[in-house]
Amino acid sequence: MKKYLVAPWRSGYIENLSSSQKSKCIFCEATKKNSDAPVLEKGKKNFVIMNLYPYNTGHVMIVPYKHTNDILNLDEDEITELMKLTQKCIEVLKSILKPHGFNIGMNIGKSAGAGFADHIHLHIVPRWQGDESFLTIVGKSKVISVDVKKIFKKLKKEFNKK
């Protein structure tokens, strides 16, 4: 008998893949005035946003305002702020979620696994000892145990304090 894991929160991601919005950059759209994107922090050169389809609880991304697919196109101020925001994200995530570690990185280019290859972004994924299970390793499925909107509210409050 085949078993199914139902993950209705992923439907928005799937629908966006096939929509006419595909030609618009999700990151550039997130910075527009009327956007309801889950932006946690706005810097001068970069912003921090929650990943709505996270690899793990608390998965955030730091995104340059500059629309580019090449890290070599970022200037010194953009890179410096990117790293300072990385530090702030780590500080906030440690304070709220108390992870045991982090995965931090960029997938630059479609062949490197970038879901949105036209606009670079840095992933920060909190990790906990034992957060990999039979389901993730063999079943190739991940269970996110905390609602993204609840985590966003907690993280936003903490970002505002710092």
Give catalytic residue positions.
121
Q: Taken in order 73, 79, 83, 85, is the CA torsion positive or negative?
A: negative
Q: Are 122 and 158 in contact (CB under 8 A)?
A: no
Q: CA–CA separation, 30 vs 12, rounded Å? A: 15
For 123-157, the DSSP string reads EEEEE-TT---HHHHTS------S-HHHHHHHHHH
Give the residue ranges of DSSP H helices in the chain: 11-18, 26-30, 76-97, 134-137, 148-161
Look at residues 117, 118, 93 and name the one whose alpha carbon lies nearest to residue 103. 93
